[in-house]
Chain A
């Protein structure tokens, strides 16, 4: 693995995660908006009754149920799906950038493989698992997202260190240490 895999993976993953945004978030937001309107209506009905005295228990219960329904939906769809979508986009782009950097590094191939794997594992285990939680509701896998987060942190740190020793110059570009202009 030389970094090319990260670029390929990053671009394809970006296409998926970009599509999952409108598929996952827009309908969710639409549903949530309806729930929000229903909650607003139920609370308004209670406020109307309060003008003439104590509101009825049924009206109060309906208002509370509508608010809870909205909050549950907002929490489920809004938070996790937004996190998956945002991180998915970011991590796919990170793979493209990391792939380009890894391609230019002059380090042993096993080190390149390690860096390449860390970024791919990072994206799959982090935003990939968040998508599983958001799309299929498999909450149990949510705990494993930290493996992805840790892989990305390790990948960033190691690529930073590898860049110090591995960027030796690019042919044809003036001003980069240790390399004369090819022309």
Chain B
């Protein structure tokens, strides 16, 4: 009976700091600027020709303004990959250790089993998601570059430019990324129960003693 009661006892979670304030600020800065950019970009792409010329120009100016604000956040985030704390660094994104490669496999098995079984255990970034973030940073940098080229091209060359095709392809990839990111975050929040979303606000994730012990090698 005592054993049964013991089994039913809720595990005790202790909060541990996983993400620094700058990383969290950059995450939300980039999220808000990307949201503004895709909203304005969608309006320019699908409504641009139906809108009065002055309004279209205004939307493009706003899109460029948010583009520069996003570029500033992206540049700082990329620098922070190399000089920031361990949990913000590039080593926390890529599966460069055997332990992190094992977590990638655990994550893929968890997905393949339709979220049944034990969810993967990791301290800060999930290394599988980390690889996706690394690709996102590259796509975002190309997107910013293509955007700058487009802004500086004369109107008649802009429509025929390779940069425009690149910028539109980047838009689709970023939309797919946003959908996948939000979906995966909700799934991991519900299945892992470490407080993933709130950790991106307050910096802390909850782990049991046993989980924290297993994560010490990470």
Q: Which positions in A face B, CB cutoff 8 Å? A: 110-111, 113-114, 117-118, 143, 146-147, 149-151, 153-154, 157-158
Contacts and interface: CB of A to CB of B under 8 A. Distances in A.
Contacts of B80: 114
A38 B71 CA distance: 46
Of A114, A143, A149, A150, most B-chain CB atoms within 10 Å:
A150
30 contacts: A110-B83, A111-B22, A113-B83, A114-B22, A114-B76, A114-B79, A114-B84, A117-B83, A118-B75, A118-B76, A118-B79, A143-B148, A143-B152, A146-B68, A146-B71, A146-B148, A147-B75, A149-B68, A150-B68, A150-B71, A150-B72, A151-B72, A153-B68, A153-B72, A154-B72, A154-B73, A154-B75, A154-B76, A157-B72, A158-B76
A154 B33 CA distance: 14
A109 B156 CA distance: 49
- What secondary structure prevails in chain B residues at the interface with A? helix
B134 to A, nearest CB: 19
Contacts of A158: 76
B124 to A, nearest CB: 16
Contacts of B85: 110
A5 to B, nearest CB: 13
B149 interface: yes
B9 to A, nearest CB: 39
Interface of B: 22, 68, 71-73, 75-76, 79-80, 83-85, 145, 148-149, 152
A143 B72 CA distance: 16
Given A118-B76, A151-B75, 8 more contacts: A111-B22, A113-B83, A114-B76, A143-B145, A146-B148, A149-B68, A150-B68, A154-B75
A143 to B, nearest CB: 6
Contacts of A154: 72-73, 75-76
Given A143-B148, A143-B149, A154-B76, A110 B71 contact: no
A163 to B, nearest CB: 15
Contacts of B152: 143
Contacts of A157: 72
A151 B72 CA distance: 6
Contacts of B79: 114, 117-118
Of A114, A147, A149, A154, most B-chain CB atoms within 10 Å:
A154
A114 B83 contact: yes
A114 B23 CA distance: 12
Nearest to A117: B79
B100 to A, nearest CB: 22
In the A-B complex, the 10 residue pairs with the smallest Cβ-Cβ separation, listed nearest first, are A154-B72, A150-B71, A150-B72, A113-B83, A146-B148, A154-B76, A153-B72, A150-B75, A110-B83, A114-B83
B77 to A, nearest CB: 10
Given A150-B71, A157-B72, A158-B76, A110 B84 contact: yes
A86 B174 CA distance: 38
A157 B33 CA distance: 15
